[in-house]
Chain A
Amino acid sequence: MDFISILSIFVLACFVGYYVVWSVTPALHTPLMAVTNAISSVIIVGALIAAAAANVPGAKWLGLAAVVLASVNIFGGFAVTERMLAMYKKKEKK
């Protein structure tokens, strides 16, 4: 992909992010931070590519270390978000 196409996707995604985040209710801002944290660990894609390439051992170990760190975030981030969201309950109708 050439640089301009990637940049277009990036700029458009920033706008999508802007509108989507403003529509998040303030009551859920803490779960928002936890889940954005989890999804920013999509950097694991880069870590996996580095870890899978065996030709440079140094880079491979850096990649594996990054896979561990990103996994902590992915599992931890989604699990803690799920735990928080499960707490939000509506008033019980009697």
Chain B
Amino acid sequence: MRSLFSIIRQRAEKGVSMKAVVTTSLGAVLALFTATPAYAAGAEGQAVNPWVALAYLVAGVFFILALRGLSSPATSRRGNRFGMAGMLIAVVTTLVTHSVGNIWEIAIAIAIGGAVGFVIARRIAMTAMPQLVAAFHSLVGLAAVLVAAAAFLNPGSFGILDAAGNILAVSRVEMVLGAAIGAITFSGSVIAFAKLNGNMSGAPIMLPGRHIINLGTLLAIIVLTVLYAMQPVAGAGEGWIFWVVLGLAFAIGFLLIIPIGGADMPVVVSMLNSYSGWAAAAMGFTLHNTAMIVTGALVGSSGAILSYIMCRAMNRSFISVIAGGFGAEDSSGGSAAGGEQRPYKQGSADDAAFMLEQAEKVIIIPGYGMAVAQAQHALREMGDVLKEKGVEVKYAIHPVAGRMPGHMNVLLAEANVPYDEVFELEDINSEFATADVAFIIGANDVVNPAAKTDKSSPIYGMPVFDVDKAKQVFFIKRSMGGVGYAGVDNDVFYMNQTTMLLSDAKKMVEEIVKALD
């Protein structure tokens, strides 16, 4: 226990927030202890050992520590171990406290799932991380649906029956909500996966009257849930409402994600992350299980915060993302702006190598295009050569670089770029004024000054890098034809200090490395 608290203390970065964490955790502990006698007395006369409740609580605390560890890369792996330990405690406690007649069936189920999960985790490419996370979300969603359905068919073993053999009204609401949120997470994640994986076009698909359909479906789910809760008779597996709500929830998850364009996928993946948490929390309510409730709340708030961060980085409101249709409006605006040809300077790898060598400070701005071209290893090599020549090299990462929160950091880490050379937008933006070279590779919209000046631009208001303040700008781009994800022209191409390096990102960086030697 002592080491536990010392870790909490060590990881305290901001005094204020940490104090709040400690107070709230203490509050949660107190709430549990005051609640324990009621727990032991209630729930169908099942004898509940207070140690069991305590074990689940410990699992919950371990999950909190798992997330807490991620406050710095140095403590993150220990955090992950806490997460694993928490999960082990939760699973073992459950198996020990229930009379399990079919332990072999369960062991086989865990072994099958575990083997599949482990192999996928080993083999997956880091560029495919967003798809993987979306796929995992869909599994949590489906698992929640299955558990809710099992509780509906066999409420006795979940301890949610009243004396007359009806499912408790509160439990009915929790169960239906858990199933509905799970179903939305499942079908939404499947669509998000298909869009990210390229099985489905990233373009938004607009149904006529979709807002009315969506709101109607949502309303129907709420009304049916209330009706179900008020039913006088609701025995095990009785009634059609549960299944109808489930069907509607599957449909709305599908309908909600279909109209959202590829550029907004980071927000969608974060949002589905949040939903998978709320689904787990709802099932925790049904089961009166502290570990599930605590975890659900953690995951739910985590996903919600990540969605908020992503929306802020794109200067979009959450509602407008969910309502959908970013990409569709832009394609028309982009083609209209691309009518005239403006003069730009084109350079070669040798020019770039010469300027980079002379520089004192180089800031590299990688975007998803770099990952698509698989240029991250070549880029790190270039950074290494420059550092050997005494150049200060820093990497600047925009929150929406990559296709999910923090994706670019993982891609750079995979290429062995040390994390203390990688900086976030707010931390590095003031340094462009002192930088000799800004080196843009595979990024576009995140350096577009139109976001600051042009009110009619679709990306207006989005925070961007001030690359125009750097003495020299190199911009690697495949050709002048294509425009960024948001489909807008970029004034950086035509600035006096900009040299365009028109080539495949990986080939160009490799040529620069060769020219540097």
Contacts and interface: CB of A to CB of B under 8 A. Distances in A.
A88 B76 contact: yes
The SS class assigned to the A binding surface is helix
Contact of A29 (B283, B289, B406): B406
A71 B20 contact: no
B236 A56 contact: yes
The main secondary structure of chain B at its interface with chain A is: helix
Nearest to A51: B106
B121 A75 contact: yes
A70 B397 CA distance: 33
Interface in A33-75: 33-56, 58-60, 62-75
Interface stretch (B221-229, B298-306, B433-441, B500-508): B298-306
Contacts of B114: 71-72, 74-75
Interface of A: 1-3, 5-6, 8-56, 58-60, 62-92
Nearest to B283: A46
B298 A36 contact: yes
B100 interface: yes
Given A43-B147, A73-B117, A89 B83 contact: no
Contacts of A52: 95, 98-102, 106, 157
Contact of B106 (A3, A29, A67): A67
B137 A37 contact: yes
Contacts of B286: 46
Nearest to A42: B295
Contact of B91 (A5, A40, A45, A56): A45
Given A1-B35, A5-B34, 16 more contacts: A14-B297, A22-B17, A33-B406, A35-B67, A39-B87, A40-B296, A47-B143, A47-B146, A48-B94, A48-B106, A50-B151, A50-B157, A59-B151, A75-B118, A77-B117, A85-B80
A10 B87 CA distance: 19
Nearest to A53: B157
A9 to B, nearest CB: 5
